């Protein structure tokens, strides 16, 4: 106990603790993970062995505890074959955070010593991180499909792990799969030229052959960045430059490649602001429609939602965002999920800098900040303006950190950094960020460390008016980070394009079911302006000012119910449901069954639930099998269907 307290104190002196892991990561940390996975995609399970190289960092240990979530654990043993005892318990009554795997070691190990051990286990269809899809759920309908999604704390459903962003490890993997179930497999790692020793080689049978792929991730990464995708997929280069690639099902690959032809240029725009990309190649996977989020920045293998492919390039800001994570999130990582803005706020900041370099439309950046601010405010209202989930430092003790997920770390984080930049000056702030990346490369840090670095950097650089700048930086820092609700300083993102969008809404409201004279202005709006207009319609609906005859006229003019750009379509459906329109429920049901991206599905379910709870539940039941487990969980929360299960 005393030993634990000392090590806790040593760690606490530097960084915040992670309250969402059951692992004893303050005493022992994994340095390397090897996975051997045998995929049974049709039968929806994976036979697995994970091997670890732990290093003792506390004074001594005789036990290792790891996070798991609905994994079947068969055995734990040392590399010399000696079997180890293990138990599983439930530190919290519900299983939202999963279980704790306690491995009793054969003896006491002391600071600096390594412990190499293996765990045999399996993953089945109850997994929260792996989505096992049938071939009918894919686009080409020839093979089943599988993909993982681990952020926030879902990699514990992939393997027994220290499921905390504060621990980084390298990893290797051997993936064994049937040639009839997957054309190819990719992981968030390079393909290894070296073949690893395989523990279990299954026999080929009539009708299929087992294939082997080997992966290596040489850069230490947090567990939540481990990722896999398998199915009828193919990898192709996207553009000149030789470092950007695309993975998708073959039927869509040409259209996607065409739309992503500027990927190399996006990368160059980011590099122009922040410095060179250091991870080697960059591959974007366009996932099936049930992928629950816009994108996931798995290193060397970003996953993206097909809704970003609109045919017009309007959804590609997600691509720039995920690329920007290569610097913020993947190179420097938050130490726990309370500090998620250390990943997301910085990434949005870099994304918007790069977008400005690439597109050179400053109004678009401002409008995106306004749209982001609106989404953030809606999330805050959902949590309550005085809830700490509405702050940049949510307390997720005893909870699944996914429950606190919102736009707040993205947009409040972005606004905070923009505010700091306004104090420091653009050039000095850019140079500071470059130095910050060098200082904390491959480390995990908290917001206090960022503050320490920022002040130290400015002091050491001898910037003008250091004392005044220091005062201004510290003046509101704690309010920005810890106070719930809107930021302590309101930034001005106004532009004439914003006024145009608001005037456009008003022209429809005033026309009261007739066609306004300038209705065609919409066609030449920026994509962000169209979103502002639809957000404004939603606001009008909330204030009972959007009448059904106005909805009819807008739809007649702009064909929004038939819109293929889901970024616009979901906002339209949310607005009309909030206005009480029940005439398009069939199209709304079709929409909810064709897209699984939370950002688009949750607001529509929320609006539908308020309008007609029973119908919302009925639609959810119809499409339940289509959704990823993360989305399913969140929709159940929205509809009040969440059950508590121990198993
Ligand atoms: Zn992000």
Instruction: Decide if 53 contacts 114 (C-beta within 8 A).
Output: yes
CA of 539 to the centre of ligand 1 (A): 26
* Band (310; pLDDT cuts 50, 70, 90): very high
623 is in an annotated binding site: no
* Band (249; pLDDT cuts 50, 70, 90): very high
- 322 included as an active-site residue: yes
Residue 572 has pLDDT above 80, yes or no: yes
CA of 550 to the centre of ligand 1 (A): 36
* Calpha distance 303→318 (Å, rounded): 10
CA of 487 to the centre of ligand 1 (A): 20
* Highest-scoring range by mean pLDDT, 95-104, 234-243, 635-644: 95-104
pLDDT of residue 186: 98
pLDDT of residue 13: 53
Residue 488 has pLDDT above 60, yes or no: yes
Residue 147 has pLDDT above 50, yes or no: yes
| Sign of the dihedral through C-alpha 454, 455, 461, 467 | positive
Cα torsion for 455, 461, 465, 467, to the nearest 10°? 30
CA of 460 to the centre of ligand 1 (A): 31
372 is in an annotated binding site: no
* Band (429; pLDDT cuts 50, 70, 90): very high
Residue 3 has pLDDT above 70, yes or no: no
* Band (6; pLDDT cuts 50, 70, 90): very low
The stretches of 384-486 forming alpha helices (DSSP H) are 408-424, 426-439, 447-461, 466-475, 477-482
CA of 90 to the centre of ligand 1 (A): 31
The candidate with the shortest Cα–Cα distance to 292, out of 139, 133, 160, is: 133
Coil, strand or helix at 366: helix
CA of 295 to the centre of ligand 1 (A): 7
pLDDT of residue 40: 97
* Band (95; pLDDT cuts 50, 70, 90): low
pLDDT of residue 647: 36
Q: In this structure, what DSSP letter does residue 543 have?
A: T
CA of 411 to the centre of ligand 1 (A): 11
Residue 627 has pLDDT above 80, yes or no: yes
Which of 11, 52, 121, 410 is catalytic? The answer is 410
Residue 82 has pLDDT above 60, yes or no: yes
Residue 225 — φ and ψ, nearest 5°?
Answer: -100, 5
632 is in an annotated binding site: no
Residue 619 has pLDDT above 60, yes or no: yes
CA of 322 to the centre of ligand 1 (A): 6
Q: Which residue has the higher pLDDT, 137 or 579?
A: 579
598 is in an annotated binding site: yes
CA of 347 to the centre of ligand 1 (A): 6
- 410 included as an active-site residue: yes
Residue 11 has pLDDT above 60, yes or no: no
Coil, strand or helix at 13: coil
Instruction: Give me the percent of the chain exceeding a pLDDT of 70.
Output: 97
Q: What is the pLDDT of residues 500-558, one digit of tens each?
A: 999 999 999 999 999 999 999 999 999 999 999 999 999 999 999 999 999 999 999 99
640 is in an annotated binding site: no
613 is in an annotated binding site: no
351 is in an annotated binding site: no
Which contacts qualify for 532-536: CB closer than 8 Å, 24 or more apart?
A: 532/367, 532/370, 532/371, 532/497, 532/498, 532/501, 532/502, 533/501, 533/504, 533/505, 534/560, 534/568, 534/571, 534/572, 534/575, 535/371, 535/374, 535/571, 536/501, 536/502, 536/505
Q: What is the pLDDT of residues 339-389, one digit of tens each?
A: 999 999 999 999 999 999 999 999 999 999 999 999 999 999 999 999 999
* Band (115; pLDDT cuts 50, 70, 90): very high
* Calpha distance 175→128 (Å, rounded): 20
* Band (643; pLDDT cuts 50, 70, 90): low
Q: What is the pLDDT of residues 207-224, one digit of tens each?
A: 999 999 999 999 999 999
149 is in an annotated binding site: yes
222 is in an annotated binding site: no
384 is in an annotated binding site: no
Averaged pLDDT of the chain: 94
Residue 231 has pLDDT above 80, yes or no: yes
514 is in an annotated binding site: no
* Band (2; pLDDT cuts 50, 70, 90): very low
The candidate with the shortest Cα–Cα distance to 106, out of 131, 85, 127, is: 85
CA of 619 to the centre of ligand 1 (A): 29
Q: CA geometry: angle at 386 spanning 18 and 166, to 5°?
A: 15
- 14, exposed or middle or buried, with CB in 10 Å at 0-12, 13-18, 19+? exposed
Q: What's the rounded mean pLDDT across residues 612-636?
A: 93
Q: What is the pLDDT of residues 315-337, one digit of tens each?
A: 999 999 999 999 999 999 999 99
pLDDT of residue 240: 74
CA of 407 to the centre of ligand 1 (A): 10
* Calpha distance 401→67 (Å, rounded): 14
Q: What is the pLDDT of residues 47-62, one digit of tens each?
A: 999 999 999 999 999 9
- 494, exposed or middle or buried, with CB in 10 Å at 0-12, 13-18, 19+? exposed
The candidate with the shortest Cα–Cα distance to 250, out of 316, 181, 180, 184, is: 184
Which of 249, 322, 421, 535 is catalytic? The answer is 322
């Amino acid at each position: 106990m005393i030993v634990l307290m000392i090590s806790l104190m040593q760690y606490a002196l530097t960084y915040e603790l992670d309250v969402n892991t059951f692992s004893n990561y303050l005493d022992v940390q994994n340095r390397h993970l090897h996975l051997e996975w045998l995929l049974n995609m049709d039968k929806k399970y994976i036979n697995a062995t994970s091997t670890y190289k732990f290093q003792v960092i506390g004074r001594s240990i005789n036990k290792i505890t790891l996070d798991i979530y609905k994994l079947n654990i068969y055995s734990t043993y040392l590399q010399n074959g000696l079997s180890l005892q293990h138990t599983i318990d439930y530190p919290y009554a519900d299983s939202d955070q999963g279980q704790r795997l306690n491995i009793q070691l054969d003896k006491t190990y002391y600071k600096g010593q390594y412990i190499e051990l293996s765990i045999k286990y399996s993953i089945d269809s109850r997994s929260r991180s792996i989505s096992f899809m049938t071939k009918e759920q894919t686009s080409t309908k020839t093979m089943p499909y599988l993909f993982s999604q681990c952020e926030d704390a879902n990699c514990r459903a992939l393997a027994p792990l220290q499921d905390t962003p504060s621990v980084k490890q390298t990893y290797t993997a051997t993936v064994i799969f049937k040639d009839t179930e997957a054309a190819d497999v990719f992981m968030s790692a390079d393909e290894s030229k070296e073949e690893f020793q395989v523990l279990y080689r299954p026999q080929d049978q009539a009708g299929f052959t087992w294939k082997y792929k080997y992966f290596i991730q040489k850069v230490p990464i947090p567990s939540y960045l481990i990722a896999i995708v398998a199915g009828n997929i193919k990898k192709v280069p996207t553009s000149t430059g030789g470092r950007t690639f695309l993975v998708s099902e073959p039927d869509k690959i040409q259209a996607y490649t065409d739309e992503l032809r500027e990927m190399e240029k996006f990368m160059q725009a980011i590099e122009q602001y922040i410095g060179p990309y250091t991870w080697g190649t960059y591959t974007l996977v366009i996932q099936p429609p049930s992928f629950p989020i816009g994108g996931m920045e798995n290193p060397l293998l970003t996953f993206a939602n097909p809704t970003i492919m609109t045919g017009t390039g309007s959804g590609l800001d997600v691509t720039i965002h995920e690329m920007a994570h290569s610097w913020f999130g993947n190179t420097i990582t938050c130490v726990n999920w309370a500090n998620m803005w250390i990943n997301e706020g910085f990434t949005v900041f870099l994304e918007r800098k790069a977008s400005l370099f690439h597109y050179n439309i400053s109004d678009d950046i401002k409008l995106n900040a306004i749209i982001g601010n609106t989404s953030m405010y809606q999330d805050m209202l959902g949590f309550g303006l005085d809830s700490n989930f509405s702050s940049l430092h949510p307390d997720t003790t005893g909870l699944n950190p996914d429950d606190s997920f919102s736009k707040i770390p993205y947009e409040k984080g972005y606004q905070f950094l923009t505010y700091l930049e306004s104090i420091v000056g653009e050039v000095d702030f850019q140079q500071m960020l470059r130095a910050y990346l060098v200082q904390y490369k491959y480390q995990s840090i908290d917001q206090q460390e960022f503050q320490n670095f920022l002040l130290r950097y400015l002091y050491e650089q001898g910037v003008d008016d250091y004392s005044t700048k220091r005062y201004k930086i510290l003046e509101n820092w704690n309010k920005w980070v810890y106070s719930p609700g809107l930021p302590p300083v309101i930034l001005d993102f106004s532009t004439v394009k914003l006024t145009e969008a608001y005037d456009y809404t008003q022209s429809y409201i005033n026309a009261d079911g007739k066609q306004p004279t300038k209705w065609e202005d919409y066609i030449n709006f920026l994509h962000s302006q169209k979103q502002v207009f639809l957000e404004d319609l939603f606001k009008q609906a909330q204030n009972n000012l959007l009448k059904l005859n106005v909805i009819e006229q807008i739809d007649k003019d702009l064909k929004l119910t038939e819109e293929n750009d889901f970024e616009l379509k979901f906002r339209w459906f949310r607005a009309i449901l909030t206005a009480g329109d029940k005439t398009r429920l069939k199209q709304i049901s079709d929409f909810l069954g064709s897209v699984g991206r939370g950002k688009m599905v949750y607001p529509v379910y929320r609006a539908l639930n308020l309008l007609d709870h029973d119908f919302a539940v009925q639609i959810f039941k119809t499409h339940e099998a289509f959704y990823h487990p993360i989305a399913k969980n969140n929709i159940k929360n929205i509809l009040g269907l969440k059950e508590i299960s121990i198993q």
